């Protein structure tokens, strides 16, 4: 149960991209905004400057669709995981917290691979790998692993970065081909961590 009493009827709300885990914005909700968000599965804030409810995207169309929520240990802050329908920031940026690059792009890339599986395109490299089957995908991962080792031992840092990136990309495709995802691997690694 959220405690709206601590902040004069408002709780801070951290909004995070469900796929990339990137923090998109911070807003505030009163009890009415929270109820509306839960009912509609679309994020609504209480605008302190306008003194009214404000659904993110009501003018731009860049809605935030609610996937899940988490209440902090003191029951006075929300973390919302969302699917953004476009840029979150009013400046047109994907996040209100600008960084040089999306630090969680590997998670975003996993989502791109998934979309290529869900909506195949003849011009997609992922689709061409998929059409060749799991043996070819696994073989490609092996080839990229060997090239990564060679680059690590005998080539430039730039070559190593490129080969490592190729390996990671092809591994993401193989993981998807096996019907798994990075969350499965992360949970496995966490369970093995001592």
Task: State residue 167's pLDDT score.
Answer: 97
52-102 pLDDT, tens per residue?
999 999 989 999 999 999 999 999 999 999 999 998 988 888 889 877 667
Show the low-confidence residues of the chain (pLDDT under 70): 100-101
Cα–Cα distance list, 124 to 5, 77, 92, 173, 194 (Å): 52, 42, 28, 12, 41
CA 106 to CA 157: how far, in whole Å?
20
pTM: 0.68
Strand extents, DSSP E, the chain: 11-17, 23-29, 44-47, 52-55, 64-71, 78-84
Under DSSP, the state recorded for 40 is: H
What would the CATH number be for the domain defined by 105-191?
Answer: 1.10.287.1080
pLDDT value, residue 1: 82
Residue 117's closest CA among 186, 185, 181, 183?
181
pLDDT at res. 113: 95
Angle between helices 105-118 and 182-192 (to 10 degrees): 140
Give the CATH number of domain 10-84; options: 3.10.20.810, 1.10.10.10, 3.40.920.10, 1.20.1250.20.
3.10.20.810
Question: Which segments of 119-156 does DSSP mark as H helices, in order?
Answer: 125-132, 134-154
Sheet holding 11-17, edge to edge: 23-29, 11-17, 78-84, 64-71
Counting every residue written for the chain, the total comes to: 194
**pLDDT at site 19:** 84
- So where are the chain's domains? 10-84, 105-191
């Amino acid at each position: 149960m959220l405690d709206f009493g601590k902040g004069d009827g408002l709780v801070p709300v951290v909004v995070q991209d469900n796929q990339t885990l990137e923090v998109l914005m911070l807003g505030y909700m009163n009890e009415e905004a929270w109820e509306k968000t839960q009912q509609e599965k679309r994020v609504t804030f209480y605008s302190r400057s306008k003194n009214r409810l404000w659904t993110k995207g009501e003018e731009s169309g860049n809605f935030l669709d609610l996937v899940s929520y988490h209440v902090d240990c003191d029951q006075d802050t929300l973390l919302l995981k969302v699917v953004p329908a476009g840029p979150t920031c009013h400046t047109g940026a994907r996040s209100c917290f600008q960084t040089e690059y999306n630090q969680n792009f590997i998670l975003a890339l996993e989502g791109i691979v998934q979309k290529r599986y869900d909506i195949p395109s003849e011009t997609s490299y992922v689709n061409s790998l998929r059409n060749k089957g799991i043996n070819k995908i696994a073989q490609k991962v092996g080839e990229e692993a060997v090239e990564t080792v060679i680059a690590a031992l005998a080539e430039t840092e730039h070559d190593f970065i490129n080969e490592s990136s190729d390996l990671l990309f092809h591994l993401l495709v193989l993981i998807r081909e096996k019907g798994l995802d990075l969350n499965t691997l992360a949970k496995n690694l966490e369970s093995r961590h001592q």
